[in-house]
Structure 1
Amino acid sequence: MLFTVLMFNTCHAGVLLLLSSDAPYYRETADILQATVSDRLTAPPSFERVSLDAPGFEDILAKPHQLIVAVGSNATREALGRADTTPLLSVFTPQNAFATLLQTKNSTIDRPIAVIYLDQPLSRVVSLATLLQPDATRFGTVFGPISREWESELKALTAERGIHLEQAYLNHNDNPVAVLRPLVQQSDLFIALPDQAVLNRAIAKWILHLSFQQKVPVIGFSKAYTNAGALASIYSAPADIGKHAGELIAAWLPDNPIPGQLQLYPRYFTISTNPAVARSLGISLPPENQLYRHIEQQEQPLP
């Protein structure tokens, strides 16, 4: 698969923000992205915004632009499906979904493509878990059809810290309680990994129920997970993704060549904690901003 260099043709129009839908989280991502670029450049580009559910979006997408920013998997699919050489930045797209979209392209890609994944690096998740349970020796997790590809990396990351990874596998036809109950019982802390949407809902329900029974803290991957009973979650909110994307675009626009095969995890992230769950588990919960600073300091600067 061929990737070219990400450069901008200043004779073209401005930046197109192509949203997968008019959902609030896509709109917030676009708002923060645009504000970040405007704050960082004395002569910011013009922005045009359209969502896939807007009438006539095809005509707007067909116009010349310096850059197309596809917000979400569906917008990325739509942009990739067109014979276009305009540089493309995909944001708010899970790593697996982006890889699948590229694999479905039968011809060579002759446009620069960069992506900021929605997923968190596993090292970040493990760092949060060890900050919250420093004495834990056994982390549990369940792998689904998508998250199974992270197994070897998660094993390596936990082993580096002297932690044993208790694991199981869950598919759509499996009984989640039969799979999850012994796994939770054997764990000091449980890490919930994102997978297929249907499986996410089934797993979340039973993980939180069983962990409550067994007094095992859970690390989730969304604010909803924390609200539902996880001790904490780590994720990148729309504002985090938008800020990172805006910073990259502001750096690119003065005609700086950027490798088109640029695949990044989000630079910024959010930690949400559940003090009520912490009290019930007898866990001393550091402030969220303190947890953030600890993890930030552990990470190497991202490009």
Structure 2
Amino acid sequence: MLKSGISIREAREAVKPGMLARAILIVSLAMTAIAAHAADPHVLILREDGPIARQTADFLLADLARQGGVGRSARQFDIAEQESASAAMRGLRAGDDAIVVAIGPRALRPASLVAAGRPIVATLVSLAALEDFGPGVERIRAIVLDQPVPRLLNLVQAALPAARRLGVLAGPSSMMPLRALVRHAQDRGLTVSADVMTASTEVVAALERLVPRMDLLLALPDPLVHNRNTVQPLLLTTYRAGIPVVTYSESYLQAGAAVALFSTPKQIALQTAEAIQQHPEKGMPPTIQTPRYFTVGVNTAVARSLGLSLPPVSELQERLSSLE
């Protein structure tokens, strides 16, 4: 009897060709798993201190935990805890991989400082916020809130097929998406009339100039045009003129827009988790990703007041999904 507790005969049986191959396979798989775990990067999440950012971070941590791998080492910090996040980064062993996640535009700069040259994945940010970031933006892989223009137009044509004239209030941050909108709209036989603003106080005057030339107002993300000071006068002016507003956020919809196309914190978090799982050695995601997952919303009370007969939300959602 061997000291290990098995007999010599049993030991000989254990090294028969078939059993030996199985043993080698088991050891190989175990070593592969260990190596994979060792290669998983550390994830440091730096987020804004707001309910949407906190919710997105919580969903992201849950998604990473379900996926395993990088989820085992993910940590979350508020931007006020930047020094703690930097200390956590300095505490990593030499050669350890790490990814810094910035949630919200105000987290971009702190995340860049914490990352110290390591990869950054930004989420819950707009294209405008990335443009404003300046030097270093090329190191950031972002999942932006801006919906793709073809998807926006699909919604317009599915929800309001009689609307042929689209109105847009534009500011410095929305000129690029406006140009894309004009190009795609022309391909569909739609016209776009735009009024370019230089100050938030111009919103009512700009709308009054647009009203005779539009069947609906399409809101494009731009902090100069759409902010807490302009939303109510904008919605009131368009409502009085009988013009529905198609917007990009759930809060805007609740405030009085007729139709909205947006991505929820849960949807943004899921796409962010999928991007993080693309470890740098496996190829990081494209520099800019538009939302993969999206939600259609309808304000039935506003639509009814405007005399609009809109398809059910489920029908609109299914229609847009089929066109992706």
- TM-score if structure 1 supplies the norm length? 0.84
Kindly provide the CA deviation profile for residues 176-202 of structure 1, in whole angstroms up to 9, marking residues without a partner as x: 322211312321111012212575334
Of residues 45, 66, 87, the one that matches 1:59 is 87
* 1:276 to partner: Cα distance: 0.8
CA, structure 1 residues 198+179, in 2 after alignment: closer, same or farther (shift >3 Å)? closer
Query: Which one of the candidate residues 23, 33, 55 is aligned to 1:28?
Result: 55
Q: Percent identity?
A: 30
- Residues in 1 aligned to 2:79 and 2:314: alpha-carbon distance in whole angstroms: 36
How many Å apart are 1:287 and its aligned residue?
2.3
In the alignment of these two chains, the number of paired residues is: 284
Q: Map 1:1-303 to 2 at 5 A.
A: 10=38, 14-21=42-49, 23-41=50-68, 44-54=71-81, 56-64=84-92, 66-81=98-113, 84-101=116-133, 103-105=134-136, 113-172=140-199, 175-196=202-223, 200-250=227-277, 252-253=278-279, 257-259=282-284, 262-299=287-324
Cα distance per residue 1:54-85 (max 9 Å; x no partner)? 37343234443522111122222112235723
Do 1:147 and 1:195's aligned partners in 2 also have CA atoms closer than 8 Å?
Answer: yes
Change (3 A) 1:199 1:233: closer
Q: Relative to structure 1, is the Cα distance of residues 286 and 256 closer, same or farther in structure 2, using a 3 angstrom cutoff? A: farther
User: Separation in 2 of the partners of 1:63 and 1:222?
Assistant: 39
Report 1 or 2 for greater relative contact order, CA contacts < 8 Å, sequence distance ≥ 6. 1
CA contact (8 A) 1:10 1:66 kept: no
How far off is 1:151 after superposition? 2.3
What is the alpha-carbon root mean square deviation over aligned residues?
A: 2.6
4+ residue runs of structure 1 moved beyond 6 angstroms? none
Give the TM-score of the pair, scaled to structure 2.
0.79
Letter in 1 for 2:318: R
Higher helix share: 2
Contact 1:141 1:193 in 2 (8 A): yes
Larger Rg: 2
How far the C-alpha of 1:260 sits from its partner, in A, is 6.4
> Offset at 1:119?
1.6
Amino acid at match of 1:60: A
